[in-house]
Structure 1
């Protein structure tokens, strides 16, 4: 499961020329669900969304001290299967790693349910699953993080073909 979390001043989702959801200060989170994702992925990702320190503490002027709950922020989630695309071969995205629409809808609803259970349910908003949406936002920073529920994928890859530093043989 992947997410792109963006710190925002405000964000909204429009479907068929109608604003269906909007938030003030908080996070816009795009959520991609993989074909092999399970409840454990939901648990990891929702915890990270709620606890990642993306705001400074005005009392100490220290960066990266507060999370969305600390600031009383809102969260707008938007399902986005394109986050699961494989773009390594050719120019056409391959979406085989994305979960199918029926199962993905259930998983996405579980993400929302988990966020609501762990935080203020009134502060969790979402778009319309499967719809063509216009997503508007005003970035704050900008501050944007890519989150992945799998630890193995978050480790930096070894690069045996890396060129040596300048001055190194």
Structure 2
């Protein structure tokens, strides 16, 4: 059996707790220069620092198309809630809808068009994607100076 009594144990516990606390202080991503904090030089009229603004929208996480209210503060979506005036959900949203904020800020989400070739998906520029669409749609392509429409499943909003 060891010769560690209660008093010595509490001393070691206190010193290790203080050391762990101090190790977590400093060298944050802002201090190291990885992240930059920028204030609004000319904020929008509706932006009040620290006050959230709610925007009504439609959830696209599943096929239901529930009405949602997104809480936005300083240009960043913080939380999604059900729209109480929605006839579909009656002011509630499911877990997929709650996870919509995470899907919005997911670093692995697609940010550029992808082309499926023989080697799998490869990122392409928007110009290349338009050229591929024009080639596939033929000579009467609506891409000549007009927008193209994509037919999707049921989407409301």
TM-score over 0.5 (shorter chain): no
Normalised by the size of structure 2, how large is the TM-score? Answer: 0.24
Q: Which has the higher strand share?
A: 1
Is the radius of gyration larger for structure 1 or structure 2?
A: 2
Q: TM-score, normalised by structure 1?
A: 0.23
